[in-house]
Amino acid sequence: MASCRRVAKPGSGRVTVWTAASAAAVASVAALSAVPAGAEPHDPAGHPSARSVGDRITTLYTQAERATERYNAAETRSRALRRQVDRVQDRVARGQGRVNRMRAALGALAGGQYRTGGIDPALALLLSGDPDHYLDRAATLERISNRQAAQLRVLQSAQRTLRQERAEAAAKLVRLEHSRRAVARHKRAVQRRLATARRLVNALPPGALPGRGSGTGPGTGPGFGSDELSGGLNGGPDAAPSSGWASAAFGAARAAVGQPYAWGQAGPTAFDCSGLMQWAYARAGVAIPRTSQAQAHAGQPVPLSQARPGDLVVYRSDASHVAMYAGNGQVIHAPYPGARVRYDPVGMLPISSITRV
C-alpha cells in the first residue's frame, strides 16, 4: 500500500497530500521531459514513446562521452603533475642533504679555528719563539678562512635554491589537488549521465528501444562537404595504410573489435573512443595523446578523399569522439556504453578533422 504524508504550506493552512506513487510519476515525467525538438514525446496512450526515450538516451551518452574526455584530460594532467611533484620533492631532499653536509663541514672548520686561534695575531707573533714558523701557520689559517668564506657563500646559494624548490613543490601540490578535484568532478558527471541512461533503458519493455547506431547518416564538418565525403567513400588512395606504424596500429584496432566500451579505459580489454586510438598506436610503438581533442592535432591533417587505414577521424565540433579509418568508407571505434568496438560508416557523425599520425 502506497504511503502518504501531508505537507502544510507555511501561512496558508492548506494541506497537500503526496503519495509515493505521485512522487514516482513526477520523477518519471521529469526524466523523460527533455527530448529533442521535433521528436514525438508520447505514444497514443499518453506515455513517452520509445523514440523519445531513445533520443534522450542518445543525448545522455553523448554528454557522458564529452565528460569522459574531460575526465581523461584531467587524469592525464594529474599524472603529469604527480611526476613533476615527485621530481621536485626529490631535488628538495637532495638539496637538503647537501645543505646539511655543508653546515656540518663549516661547523667543524669553525670549531677548529676557535680552539687554535683565540689570540690576537699581533700578540701571538710577539710571543712566538719561532716567528718564521708562526708566519707560515698564519698564512695557512688565512687560506682556511678564505675557503670557509667561499663555502659559506656556496651554502647560502644552496639554501636559496632549496627555498625556491620548496616553493615550487608547494605550488605544484596545489595544482595537483585542483586537478584531482577536476577528475572527481568529471567522474561524477559521467556516472550521473550513465546512471540516468541505464534507468531509462531498464524502464522500457524488452525490444521497445529502437536500434542505436552511432549516427544517422553522412555528417559534414569544416572542410568536409558532401562531394568530398562521397569521394572518400567511393574511392581515393585508401587501399593501404600510409606507414608501417599506421599499419600496425590498424591491425591492433582490428584485433580489438568485439571488446567492450568502458569510459576512462585504454585497454587492453576495454576502451573508450580515444583510449582505443592511444592503445592501438602504442602497440605500434607510437605515443599519441590520451584525449580525442589532443589526438586531433597528433599528426598531419588530410582530406577525407585521401584518408587511409590508420588515420584518425575526429567527430563533432568539440572533437569529443574519435575513430580510426578502416578503408572502404568504414571506421573502427568504441561507440558508447553497452556497445563493443565495431565498424561503422565514416559519415556516422559530423566530421571535424582527419589526422595522419
Kindly list the catalytic residues. 273, 321, 333
The H or E element that residue 18 is part of is strand 15-19
Cα(154)–Cα(132) distance, integer angstroms: 34
68 membership: H or E segment, kind and range: helix 50-116
**CA distances for 227 relative to 215, 284, 352, angstroms:** 19, 33, 16
Phi-psi region of 244 (alpha: psi -120 to 50; beta: other; left: phi over 0): alpha
Q: Are 308 and 327 in contact (CB under 8 A)?
A: yes
> Alpha-carbon distance 319 to 293, whole Å?
5
**Alpha-helical runs (H) found in 235-330:** 244-255, 273-283, 292-295
Burial (CB count <10 Å: 0-12, 13-18, 19+), residue 324? buried
